[in-house]
Copies of this chain bind each other. A is one copy, B any other.
Amino acid sequence: MIVRQAANVLEIMEFFAQTRKPATLAEIADHFGWPRSSTFNLLATLSEKGYLYEPRPRAGFYPTPRWLAMARMISEVEPLPPWTHTLVTDLSAETGETASIVAPAGVMAVFIDVVESKAAIRYFATIGHRVPIHATASGRALLLQYSQEERDSVYRKIEFKQYGPSTPISIEAVETELRNSIQRGYCQSFGDYSRDLAGAAIPLPISDRRLSVVVAGPEFRIGPKVEEVAALIARTVDRLRPKAAA
């Protein structure tokens, strides 16, 4: 069950992150199609808690820097080592595609760092974006780091859907693909989840965290050079990862 008002808080914040300017109650209510009275209650709650204020009289609400202060606190802990950001930056620059660091979240994989391609036609992803762990290159690069028991436990919760012609729709299909990936030396996906999208990924264990790096883009661009891209990822990781570390 989705908690509506919790989701609404996030939507409001995303709204401000997009528009980047104060908005009045009426504007917000109209934008979301929410009743004024409900919008009023929500804005009042956020204001009372010190997360919204009125930068100038009558110009509407805007988030206080409290969001930033809180987010900084949260992200200061075990931040990704700086070289991982260099990694995705370099990969995106050299391939011209979108490169990301990905982490597990149950049956999903979450993007925790993203550098977008500059191409007009590109894979559009943002930090926080989620994809099925079994039907994507990045996700399978995570699964490779699990023990058999852990994988089984994940499989039990997966609802296998035919996202595209090549989506693995059974545990055995996924396991087979994982074995192939080990053979191949990298994980790949051709529209397994998103139409026309292809990607190459490899596991990226950092201390005891199980992460993965992925480069993804339109099938017609990635297709011909998956192997090359995968090799580049591996080389770049080798180059950037501190030698001493695990």
Contacts and interface: CB of A to CB of B under 8 A. Distances in A.
Interface of A: 1-10, 13-14, 16-18, 20-21, 41-42, 44-57, 62-78, 103-106, 108, 110-113, 126-130, 146, 150, 208-210
9 contacts: A1-B44, A2-B45, A3-B45, A4-B5, A17-B73, A20-B77, A47-B106, A57-B104, A64-B112
Contact of A6 (B46, B54, B104): B46
A71 B75 CA distance: 11
A110 B103 CA distance: 36
A42, A55, A72, A130 pick with most chain B CB within 10 angstroms:
A55
A67 B71 contact: yes
A77 B21 contact: yes
B54 A105 contact: yes
B45 A14 contact: no
A34 to B, nearest CB: 12
A184 B120 CA distance: 61
B128 A64 contact: yes
Closest 8 CB pairs of A and B: A66-B128, A50-B128, A53-B105, A71-B71, A17-B73, A5-B5, A68-B71, A67-B71
Contacts of A65: 75, 112-113, 127-128
A41 B4 CA distance: 10
B55 A103 contact: yes
Contacts of A64: 103, 110, 112, 127-128
A230 to B, nearest CB: 25
A75 B65 CA distance: 6
A127 B57 contact: no
A186 to B, nearest CB: 23
